[in-house]
């Protein structure tokens, strides 16, 4: 009898242990337990710790309350300014209502992931490329609002959304690189021009100060020499004083030397002889014709007179002496010279005519 009671007691204890094992549940600190009794939601959400459920009648579902980090797959889209881009993001969310996360949606993780992808594609189509590259904070806020609106009914709270990377085509990257290079070059030129302007102003002020004190220019020259010599150069270049050049310029004579003027006269006579046209030969009327021609042409050059004298020397030797002034006017003066008709000379005694200026040209 006692043996049967002991066996029954052991069976009851084992049944109790089995029941306790089937009914006992442990909920962790970051979890919440949702109890469904015969498929119906119980109002009490089990907190962290040890809890009991009715085996076979109740079912406990644990919901993680931690912040979940979910990457959003890269989405291809066309921006508002017709640029094809590929954008990926990351979303941070957590469950704030365990019962709604279990009852309202089948799988809240999958639902949040799909909503994030759809919202990301919508943001790409509404934004410009410059906004995607430089104004991401505003886009992140807009994307967070778009995802959080339906997720509130699921018992899920969107903590934040971040756009990780924006992939551009290679052609667009090259265009943007050229644009950035041109902008950098423009800024460099502006800065260089501004520096030149400031330097010119300072140099003009320094020149005004040095003009009032000539010794300052000499001191500046010595400072420059010292600065160049400090670098241990093998060649030292010294500027030539401008005052010495001005002194040499004032010391030069302003008029040409007389030798140069005298040497220029024969050249002018040669040019006049070369440029003069030959006069027609005139037959001598009498022995005094060469003398009258020499007297009546005072404008002829000395060179022509010298060349004419040797030719008329024989005829003048045989000419009769000229009358004295008391006897009356000479045939080469006044109207008597014009009224007198020349007598033709014999062919043998007629001199050969030569063009004016031929003798000086031959001599030169």
The tens digit of pLDDT for each residue in 317-360 reads: 444 444 444 444 444 444 444 445 555 555 554 555 555 544 44
Q: Is 124 helix (H, G, I), strand (E, B) or coil?
A: helix
Q: How confident is the model at residue 298 (pLDDT cuts 50, 70, 90)?
A: very low
The pair of structure tokens assigned to 236 is: 């030292």
Tell me the CB-side half-sphere exposure of residue 344, using CA atoms within 13 A.
3
Please state, in angstroms and rounded to a whole number, the distance separating the CA atoms of residues 265 and 222: 53
User: Exposed, middle or buried: residue 345 (CB in 10 Å: 0-12, 13-18, 19+)?
Assistant: middle
306, pLDDT greater than 60: no
Q: Supply φ then ψ for residue 140, to 5 degrees.
A: -65, -40
Find all residues with CB under 8 Å of 103, minimum gap 6, and list them: 41
Please state, in angstroms and rounded to a whole number, the distance separating the CA atoms of residues 223 and 215: 12
363, pLDDT greater than 70: no
Look at 13 and 254; give whichever has higher pLDDT: 13
CB 158 within 8 Å of CB 148: yes
Per-residue pLDDT tens for 130-178? 888 888 888 898 888 889 888 888 999 999 999 988 888 888 889 888 9
219, pLDDT greater than 80: yes
Where are the alpha helices (H) located in the chain, listed in sequence order?
Answer: 2-23, 98-103, 108-126, 129-134, 136-151, 170-212, 214-229, 242-251, 258-275, 289-296, 302-318, 334-339, 358-363
pLDDT of residue 222: 81
Mean pLDDT of 94-118: 91
Kindly report which listed range (12-16, 238-242, 294-298) carries the lowest average pLDDT score. Answer: 294-298
Find all residues with CB under 8 Å of 144, minimum gap 6, and list them: 158, 160, 161
Q: Supply φ then ψ for residue 278, to 5 degrees.
A: -70, 135
Distances (CA, A) of 318 to 19, 81, 227: 182, 120, 94
Tell me the CB-side half-sphere exposure of residue 253, using CA atoms within 13 A.
4
56: left (phi > 0), else alpha (psi -120 to 50), else beta? left
- The model carries a pTM of 0.49
Please state, in angstroms and rounded to a whole number, the distance separating the CA atoms of residues 190 and 182: 12
The pair of structure tokens assigned to 41 is: 């939601």
Kindly report which listed range (33-42, 167-176, 262-271) carries the lowest average pLDDT score. Answer: 262-271
Distances (CA, A) of 279 to 37, 284, 306, 355, 357: 151, 15, 17, 7, 10
Please state, in angstroms and rounded to a whole number, the distance separating the CA atoms of residues 22 and 11: 16
Distances (CA, A) of 272 to 234, 266, 361: 61, 10, 10
**Which strand ranges, in their side-by-side order, compose the sheet holding 31-37?**
40-46, 31-37, 58-64
């Amino acid at each position: 009898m006692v043996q049967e009671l002991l066996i029954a007691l052991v069976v009851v204890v084992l049944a109790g242990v089995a029941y306790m094992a089937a009914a006992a549940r442990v909920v962790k600190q970051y979890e919440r337990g949702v109890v469904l009794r015969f498929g119906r939601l119980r109002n009490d959400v089990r907190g962290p710790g040890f809890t009991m459920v009715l085996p076979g009648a109740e079912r406990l579902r644990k919901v993680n309350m931690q912040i979940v980090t979910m990457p959003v797959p890269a989405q291809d889209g066309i921006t508002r300014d017709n640029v094809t881009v590929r954008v990926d993001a990351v979303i941070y969310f957590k469950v704030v209502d365990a019962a709604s996360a279990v009852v309202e949606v089948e799988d809240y993780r999958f639902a949040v992931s799909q909503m994030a992808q759809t919202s990301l594609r919508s943001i790409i189509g509404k934004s410009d490329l410059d906004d995607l590259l430089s104004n991401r904070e505003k886009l992140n806020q807009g994307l967070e609002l778009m995802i959080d609106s339906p997720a509130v009914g699921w018992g899920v709270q969107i903590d934040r959304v971040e756009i990780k990377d924006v992939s551009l085509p290679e052609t667009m990257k090259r265009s943007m690189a050229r644009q950035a290079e041109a902008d950098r070059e423009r800024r460099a030129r502006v800065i260089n021009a501004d520096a030149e302007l400031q330097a010119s102003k300072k140099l003009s002020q320094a020149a005004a100060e040095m003009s009032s004190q000539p010794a300052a220019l000499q001191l500046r020259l010595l400072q420059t020499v010292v600065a160049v010599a400090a670098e241990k150069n093998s060649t030292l270049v010294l500027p030539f004083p401008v005052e010495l050049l001005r002194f040499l310029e004032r010391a030069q004579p302003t008029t040409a030397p007389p030798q140069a003027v005298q040497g220029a006269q024969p050249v002018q006579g040669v040019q006049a002889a070369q440029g003069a046209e030959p006069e027609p030969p005139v037959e001598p009327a009498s022995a005094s014709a060469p003398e009258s021609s020499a007297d009546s042409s005072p404008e002829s050059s000395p060179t022509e007179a010298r060349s004419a004298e040797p030719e008329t020397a024989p005829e003048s030797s045989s000419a009769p002496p000229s009358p004295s002034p008391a006897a009356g006017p000479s045939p080469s003066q006044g109207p008597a010279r014009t009224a007198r008709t020349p007598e033709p000379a014999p062919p043998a005694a007629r001199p050969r005519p030569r063009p004016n200026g031929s003798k000086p040209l031959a001599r030169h």
